[in-house]
């Protein structure tokens, strides 16, 4: 059977291994498995959200409210925008897909960092776009500017902070860069981890309203999968000028968000204390990682997210280290596929992190 030839050049996205897979393959008690690979909120979901889901579970036979009025209204109030500036997606990566399909065609140029969220490239290849990457793994705006001046672009992706590395551009340098971009180029500012960056350093905070009012060619992406602890509910959103959002609606399928997902997101927005407490604990625990990595004479990338990228140097191979940890019930993300001899570790709870340190000590000793 013949398929779309464009797919011949597309790699399948590798999600973090689920706990269930580790239990099946290695016979480990599910209670002993710790997943620190997918940047989920380790403190679970707000109890208020859980209570709302239990209350609404009896209505699962009904289609969701496709207008998504309540969620859009809540987001509009949070960001001081109009509902017409908002589109909801099944995770923010669905909005990424809208961006590509709305703006790109065969041979469009799409610019991104060398090492960044894999779905930017995958979605762009779906339409036959040309992928232009910086030489530097981390976001280097001089290199972005050079690529743009030499080639132009229909879409530019800025991941702020950047996944899977964790670094984060300052708002002011992003704005200076955006001033040089033509208004017909769509710039996607992916703020999946913005809650963490803004908490750690005010210079990193990007205000969506100010962004899209200052630069009408920008789309800001947010998600409920990280700080709001709703990874299993798959809810993301895009914020942009009305003309961009109305175009995205031509691509969006009806009922793309479930009834329970909508309710969870609405309730999660009401419990900002839970979110802020989780973020505060995240950075307290991250200091333990920084000390651990320094004591091991490894390097790490200073992170503005809920994960840390640990470079393993010349003595250890990240793929081997990650596999050994997996066999012990500790799931982390190997970054070999990104061309890095490094592992990415989600910042877990105090107990989870202590266990990671002990198991990593054991693995490194065995591999000496």
Across the range 28-48, mean pLDDT stands at 90
At residue 199, the pLDDT reads: 97
Domain residue ranges of the chain, discontinuous segments joined by +: 5-45+273-367, 47-271
Task: Find the range with the poorest average confidence among 10-24, 71-85, 93-107, 148-162.
Answer: 10-24
Q: What is the pLDDT of residue 1?
A: 73
* pLDDT in the model for residue 26: 67
- The answer to whether residue 133 scores a pLDDT higher than 80 is yes
Question: What is the secondary structure of 98-156 as a DSSP string?
Answer: HHHHHH--TT-EEEE-SSS-HHHHHHHHHTTPEEEE-SSSS--HHHHHHHHHHH--SEE
Q: What's the pLDDT at 54?
A: 86
- Residue 23 confidence (pLDDT): 67
Q: What is the mean pLDDT of residues 140-153?
A: 97
pLDDT of residue 63: 87
Measure the CA–CA gap between 236 and 222, rounded to whole angstroms: 6
Q: Which residue has the higher pLDDT, 350 or 20?
A: 350
The whole model's pTM is what? 0.93
Would you place residue 10 in the very low, low, confident or very high pLDDT band (cuts 50, 70, 90)? low
Least-confidence region, from 2-16, 150-164, 309-323, 330-344: 2-16
Q: With a cut of 80, say whether residue 233 has pLDDT above it.
A: yes
The residue among 26 and 295 whose pLDDT is bigger is 295
Task: DSSP for 310-338, please give it.
Answer: EE-TTT--HHHHHHHHHHTTEE-EE-GGG
Question: What is the predicted pLDDT for the residue at 16?
Answer: 64
Check whether 228 has a pLDDT greater than 80: yes
66-102 pLDDT tens trace: 999 999 999 999 999 999 999 999 999 999 999 999 9
Q: What is the pLDDT of residue 52?
A: 87
Indicate whether 17 pLDDT > 80: no
Kindly tell me if the per-residue pLDDT of 13 is higher than 80: no
Residue 339's CB is within 10 A of a number of other CB atoms, namely: 10
* pLDDT at res. 15: 64
Give how far the C-alpha of residue 81 lies from the chain's centroid of Cα atoms, to the nearest Å: 23
Confidence of residue 368 (pLDDT cuts 50, 70, 90): confident
Given this structure, which CATH class describes domain 5-45+273-367?
alpha beta
Pick among 3.50.50.60, 2.40.50.140, 3.40.50.2300, 3.40.640.10: CATH of 47-271:
3.40.640.10
167-204 confidence digits (pLDDT tens): 999 999 999 999 999 999 999 999 999 999 999 999 99
Helix (H, G, I), strand (E, B) or coil at 345: strand
Q: Walk across the sheet containing 186-190 and list its strands.
A: 86-89, 236-239, 218-223, 186-190, 155-159, 109-112, 130-133
Helices (H) and strands (E) in the chain, counts: 14, 13
**According to the model, what pLDDT value does residue 268 have?**
95
- Whether residue 360 is predicted with pLDDT greater than 90 in this model: the reply is yes
In this prediction, residue 122 has a pLDDT band, given cuts at 50, 70 and 90, of very high
- Is residue 2 over pLDDT 80? no
Please give the pLDDT value at position 60. Answer: 78
Work out the average pLDDT over 33-60: 89
């Amino acid at each position: 059977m013949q398929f779309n030839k464009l797919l011949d050049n597309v790699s399948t996205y590798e999600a973090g291994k689920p706990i269930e897979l580790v239990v099946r393959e290695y016979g480990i008690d599910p209670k002993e498995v710790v997943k620190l690979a997918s940047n989920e909120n380790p403190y679970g979901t707000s109890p208020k959200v859980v209570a709302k889901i239990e209350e609404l579970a009896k209505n699962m036979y009904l289609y969701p409210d496709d207008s998504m009025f309540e969620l859009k209204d809540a987001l509009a109030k949070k960001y001081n925008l109009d509902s017409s500036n908002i589109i909801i997606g099944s995770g923010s990566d669905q909005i990424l897909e809208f961006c590509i399909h709305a703006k790109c065609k065969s041979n469009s140029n799409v610019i991104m960092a060398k090492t960044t969220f894999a779905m930017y490239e995958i979605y762009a290849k779906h339409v036959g776009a040309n992928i232009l990457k910086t030489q530097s793994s981390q976001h280097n705006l001089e290199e972005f500017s050079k690529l743009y001046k030499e080639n132009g672009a229909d879409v530019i992706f800025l991941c702020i902070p950047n996944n899977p590395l964790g670094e984060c551009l300052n708002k002011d340098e992003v704005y200076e860069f955006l001033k040089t971009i033509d208004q017909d180029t769509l710039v996607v500012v992916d703020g999946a981890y913005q809650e963490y960056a803004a908490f750690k350093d005010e210079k990193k905070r990007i205000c969506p309203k100010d962004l899209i009012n200052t630069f009408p060619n920008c789309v800001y992406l947010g998600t409920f999968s990280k700080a709001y602890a709703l990874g299993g509910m798959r809810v993301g959103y895009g914020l942009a000028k009305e003309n961009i959002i109305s175009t995205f609606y031509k691509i969006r399928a009806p009922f793309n968000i479930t009834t329970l997902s909508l309710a969870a997101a609405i309730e999660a927005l009401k419990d900002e204390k839970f979110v802020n407490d989780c973020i505060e604990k995240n950075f307290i625990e991250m200091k333990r990682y920084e000390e651990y990595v320094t004591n091991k004479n490894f390097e790490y990338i200073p992170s503005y997210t809920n994960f840390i990228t640990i470079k393993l140097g010349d003595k250890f191979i990240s793929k081997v280290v990650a596999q050994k940890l997996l066999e012990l019930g500790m799931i982390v993300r190997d970054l070999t596929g990104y061309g890095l001899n490094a592992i990415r570790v989600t910042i877990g709870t105090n107990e989870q992190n202590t266990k990671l340190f002990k198991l990593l000590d054991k693995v490194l000793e065995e591999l000496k």
